[in-house]
Amino acid sequence: MLDRSCIEAIDPLLEILDGKWTLPLLLELFVGTKRFGELRRRLDPISPKTLTDRLRLLEEKGIITRTQYSGVPLHVEYEPTERGWNLQPIFAAMWAWVQENSLSDKHGTEKIALT
């Protein structure tokens, strides 16, 4: 049974997931490790600032990890942490709810399997 304490406990997660680009960004990372430029292309028309802000927030909260590789050229890759992967069943449940309750995909966006 949900009560006020449940809602208060869930609120920080909702704040992390708030924003137009957070869920699409995470879905891209669930498909595989990505570099900044690759994420930017896949999430077009996201601005570099917005992408940077979202990546930093998700990294701060332990949802994704940022790995910097030395060498030429220097590059950085992003991928979900275990904590991030643990969000997948939540997104799958949300998707199941949308399908069950006839909320259609009005944007014609690509579907990504969550399970």
Q: List the chain domain ranges.
A: 4-100
Residue 22 has which token pair? 């957070």
Chain segment 47-87, per-residue pLDDT in tens: 999 999 999 999 999 999 999 999 888 899 999 999 999 99
Distances (CA, A) of 15 to 18, 42, 44, 53, 112: 5, 24, 23, 14, 23
Name the CATH topology of 4-100: Arc Repressor Mutant, subunit A (1.10.10)
pLDDT digits (tens, 9 = 90+) for 5-50: 888 899 988 888 888 999 999 999 999 999 999 999 999 999 999 9
- pTM to 2 decimals? 0.81
Q: Please list, in sequence order, all residues whose beta carbon lies within 8 angstroms of the beta carbon of residue 2, skipping any fewer than 6 positions away.
A: none
